[in-house]
Amino acid sequence: MGLHKIIKIVGLILSFIGVAILGMIIMKGDDVIKETGSGIDGFLYTAYVIFALVLISVVVFGLKGLMSGNIKNTLITLGAFVVIVALSYGLADSNQLTLANGELLSESNSKWIGAGLYTFYILAFVAIGSMIVSGFKKAK
């Protein structure tokens, strides 16, 4: 049996467990859950297990694909991503901001948030541009 089938079966089992826990939470009612918080723990643990399985499978299959594919193109793409993040970090400003709860956001956190937004904008622009170029090439 392949790893893909095993992960599929485990995912299906965890889905049924999640549905059963959700049913128990719904049957308890809102008031009981608000007062005691019971039932939520099982749901969260199921989510943690599913997240761990997804993370492990992404890393395993990502490394498997990396080793069987062209590593030069992968490193070029990774380098381009690092350059985009560095450029975004350089463009971001580091203003200290006041949050809604009255606390101050540090300059470092502000700069990283700005860098994340700039990175998102640049990558979105590149993705949209590549879809447009691909559409024009297919139209020919």
Hey, how many other C-beta atoms are within 10 angstroms of the C-beta on 118?
18
End-to-end CA distance of the chain: 45
pLDDT of 84 above 90: yes
pLDDT at 37: 65
pTM of structure: 0.58
pLDDT digits (tens, 9 = 90+) for 87-139: 999 999 888 877 888 888 888 888 999 999 999 999 999 999 999 999 988 88
Q: How confident is the model at residue 38 (pLDDT cuts 50, 70, 90)?
A: low
Task: Decide: 104 and 96 in contact? Cβ < 8 Å.
Answer: yes
pLDDT at 111: 92
Q: What is the mean pLDDT of residues 37-66?
A: 79
Query: What is the percent of the chain where pLDDT is above 70?
Result: 94
Closest CA to 18 of 56, 45, 52: 45
Q: How far is CA 49 from CA 16, 37, 58, in A?
A: 13, 20, 14
- Partnered with residue 98 across adjacent β-strands are 104
